[in-house]
């Protein structure tokens, strides 16, 4: 697959979503491509618009201010841009647990066992 993609050469134009031949997808084709890809990935309930929200959320986390993201989104109102930015903080634990090795030490044998 990668070799086939490399054989396409440079894509000319402004289209982000395109066929393997480098031609732009229309709205229906882009939707079909999304549906096939999300099915292969096991994603259910996501739309192409979720990519947009993720991009803006990632930009905010990367330190871009709302005005910069608003320009990239082509929004005239910051409130519209803020709708796309999701505050999904994934909790990360500072606790480090030791995983069992499966070997018992001599002191951990039950009483009466040799």
Residue 68: predicted pLDDT: 94
pLDDT at 81: 93
> 48 φ, ψ to 5°?
-60, -30
- pLDDT value at residue 9: 63
Q: What is the pLDDT of residue 7?
A: 66
SS3 content of the chain, % helix, strand, coil (to 5): 45, 0, 55
pLDDT tens for 39-67 read: 999 888 888 788 888 889 999 989 999 99
Residue 19: name the closest of 30, 7, 10 by CA. 30
Residues lower than pLDDT 70 in the chain:
1-2, 4-16, 88-92, 102-114
């Amino acid at each position: 697959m990668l070799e086939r993609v490399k054989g396409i050469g440079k894509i000319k134009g402004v289209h982000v979503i395109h066929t393997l031949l480098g031609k732009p997808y229309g709205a229906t084709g882009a939707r079909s491509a999304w549906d096939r890809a999300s099915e292969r990935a096991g994603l259910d309930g996501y739309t192409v618009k979720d990519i947009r929200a993720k991009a803006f959320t990632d930009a905010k986390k990367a330190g871009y201010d709302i005005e910069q993201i608003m320009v990239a989104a082509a929004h005239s109102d910051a409130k519209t841009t803020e709708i796309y930015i999701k505050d999904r903080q994934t909790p990360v634990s500072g606790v480090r647990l030791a995983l069992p090795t499966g070997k018992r030490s001599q002191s951990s044998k039950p009483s009466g066992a040799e």
